[in-house]
Amino acid sequence: MKAWICKAFGETPALVDWADPQPGPGQVVIDIAACGVNFADTLILQGKYQKRPDGPFSPGFEVSGTVHAVGENVDDIHIGDRVMAMPDWGGFAQKVVVPASGVVALPDGVDMDGAAAFQIAYGTSWFGLKYRAGVVAGDIVLVHGAAGGVGLTAVECAKLLGATVIATAGGADKCRIARDHGADYTIDYKVENIRDRVREIATGLGRPAGVDVVYDPVGGDVFDQSLRCVAPGARILLIGFASGTVPQIPANILLVKNVAAIGFYFGAYLAQNPDIARQGMGELLDLLRDGRITPMISATYPLDDAMVALDAIRNRTATGKLVIRMD
Nearest to 142 by CA among 162, 124, 166: 166
Question: Domain holding 204: CATH number?
Answer: 3.40.50.720
- In this predicted structure, the answer to whether residue 320 has a pLDDT above a threshold of 90 is no
pLDDT value of residue 109:
84
Nearest CA to 67 out of 57, 56, 53, 77 is that of 77
pTM exceeds cut of 0.85: yes
**Same domain membership, residue 131 and residue 168:** yes
The HSE-up count of residue 85 (CA atoms within 13 Å, CB side) is 28
In sequence order, the β-bridge partners of residue 185 are: 166
End-of-domain residue from the set 220, 243, 265? 265
Q: Could you tell me if 179 and 247 lie in one domain?
A: yes
| CATH number for the domain harbouring residue 86 | 3.90.180.10
pLDDT of residue 243: 86
Angle at alpha carbon of residue 270, lines to 264 and 275, rounded to 5°: 125
What whole-number distance in Å separates Cα of residue 73 and Cα of residue 83?
Answer: 18
Place 174 in a pLDDT band, splitting at 50, 70 and 90.
very high
86 and 55 in a single domain? The answer is yes
- State pLDDT tens for residues 245-296: 999 999 999 999 999 999 999 989 998 998 999 899 999 999 998 989 989 8
Q: Is position 253 within any domain?
A: yes
Q: What is the rounded CA–CA span in Å between residue 191 and residue 24?
A: 54
Residue 111 lies in a domain: no
Please check whether residue 275 lies inside any domain of the structure. Answer: no
Strand order in 164-169's β-sheet?
185-188, 164-169, 140-143, 211-216, 230-238, 260-263
27-37 and 321-325 beta bridge pairing: antiparallel
DSSP assignment letter at 273: -
pLDDT of 163 over the 90 cut:
yes
Whole-angstrom distance, CA of residue 309 vs CA of residue 38: 9
In a domain, 25, yes or no: yes
20 and 150 co-located in one domain: no
Is 234 strand, coil or helix?
Answer: strand
Give dist(CA 50, CA 28) in Å, integer: 24
Domain identity same for 21 and 89? yes
pLDDT tens digits, one per residue of 76-128: 999 999 999 999 999 999 999 999 999 999 988 899 999 999 999 999 999 99
Using left for φ > 0, alpha for ψ between -120 and 50, and beta otherwise, residue 65 falls in left
Residue 272 lies in a domain: no
Tell me, what's the pLDDT at 90?
Answer: 98
**How many domains does one find in the chain?**
2
Give the distance, in angstroms, between the CA of residue 25 and the centroid of all CA atoms in the same chain. 30
Answer yes or no: do 139 and 251 share one domain.
Answer: yes
b/e per residue 199-231 (b: at least 16 CB within 10 A): bbbbeeeebeebbbbbbbbbbeebbbbbbebbb
Choose one of 265, 287, 305: the last residue of a domain. Answer: 265
pLDDT at 15 over 90: yes
**pLDDT band, residue 319 (cuts 50/70/90):** confident
pLDDT, average across residues 158-178? 96
Claim to verify: residue 39 and residue 95 sit in the same structural domain: yes
Does residue 100 sit in the same domain as residue 148? no
The closest of 287, 233, 283 to 260, measured between CA atoms, is 233
Residue 278 lies in a domain: no
Q: Same structural domain for residues 144 and 219?
A: yes
User: Is the distance from CB of 148 to CB of 318 less than 8 angstroms?
Assistant: yes
Contact 78, 29 (CB under 8 A): no
Q: Is residue 289 part of a domain?
A: no
What mean pLDDT comes out for the span 135-147? 96
Q: Which residues are paired to 105 by β-bridges?
A: 83
Count of beta carbons in the 10 Å neighbourhood of residue 133: 24
> Is 280 part of any domain?
no
Percentage with pLDDT > 70 across the chain: 100
Asked if residue 148 has pLDDT above 90, the reply is no
Query: Of 242, 265, 288, which residue constitutes the final position of a domain?
Result: 265
Is 67 in the same domain as 101?
A: yes
The whole-angstrom separation of Cα 251 and Cα 48 is: 26
pLDDT of residue 237: 98
Residues 20 and 146 in one domain: no
| Residue numbers of the domain that contains 128 | 122-265
pLDDT computed for residue 220 by the predictor: 93
Co-location of 92 and 170 in the same domain: no
Angle at 148 between CA 191 and CA 105, to 5 degrees: 165
Please give the average per-residue pLDDT across 138-147, as a whole number. 96
